[in-house]
Structure 1
């Protein structure tokens, strides 16, 4: 580990993009949590069906943890703190379990987003650990 290593330019690209990604997840959760029956009625029929699915409470809890801890992890990463790795680990585990459950309950054409979420979660865990090892985070 090299302390006070110069921050590579890629850090300033990956960090903000990761923050935007996690903010989109947080917004998606808030929209899902606070959508009204009247708003659901205006959606196309296939999208309405998504809001009628009853997920277990643990699934919703993992969704909340994944997106909000992930958002916090991105902020901590941009502040160059080592704690970002542990936060990404928590967020990633939550997202992987949540999306893994979802993958067992959806049709094949719908797997793209859950798989993408898992891949990005794994990348952010790896990237934050690499930043710690490279001395970018202190």
Structure 2
């Protein structure tokens, strides 16, 4: 079966989306104690005490998503395991955000929208990759 015409534009949009995730990760890594001290007190603790496992999950999530998009653009089935690992890392990171630090209490209900969107997009990219392999769009 031939590759659908929408796959490449979707993969490019997803690449841009995941690039924004990489930028967010880099920005978090660049947070200095001075910048953290300018945040509200309750948010300062959340940024000061991020455990290494959550930071690693964040890195795997965003760089895995970016790499998965590159595989998708190159029509490689390696997108499937890459997006799978990225999604698992996203879920682990969100466990920290919602269970460990309870980001809803820190940031309000609006803190739920972006993580849910991230999860939905990650599931969608994994689904498209699996479907692509089944339909022989990916090899």
Identify whether the pair has TM-score above 0.5, normalized to the shorter chain. yes
1:6 aligns with 2
1:30 aligns with 26
C-alpha distance 49-30 of structure 1, shift in aligned 2 (>3 A): farther
* Residue 40 of structure 1, CA deviation: 4.5
Q: Equivalents in 2 of 1:31, 1:49: separation in Å?
A: 19
C-alpha distance 109-10 of structure 1, shift in aligned 2 (>3 A): same
Q: Where in structure 1 are there 5+ consecutive unaligned residues?
A: none
TM alignment of 1:57-76, pairs within 5 A = 57-76=52-71
Moved over 3 A (4+): 37-41, 48-52
2:97 aligns with 102
C-alpha distance 51-88 of structure 1, shift in aligned 2 (>3 A): farther
1:85 aligns with 80
Select which of 14, 17, 27 maps to 1:18. Answer: 14
Q: Equivalents in 2 of 1:51, 1:24: separation in Å?
A: 23
* Residue 49 of structure 1, CA deviation: 5.2
Q: Equivalents in 2 of 1:80, 1:131: separation in Å?
A: 8
Q: What count of residue pairs does the alignment treat as equivalent?
A: 131
Q: Does the CA contact (< 8 Å) of 1:65 and 1:91 recur in 2?
A: yes
2:136 aligns with 135
Q: Does the CA contact (< 8 Å) of 1:40 and 1:51 recur in 2?
A: yes
- RMSD over aligned Cα atoms: 1.8
Q: Does the CA contact (< 8 Å) of 1:102 and 1:114 recur in 2?
A: no
Q: Equivalents in 1 of 2:103, 2:126: separation in Å?
A: 26
Secondary structure of 1:6's counterpart equals coil
1:122 aligns with 123
* Residue 55 of structure 1, CA deviation: 1.8
Indicate the larger mover: 8-17 or 95-104: 95-104
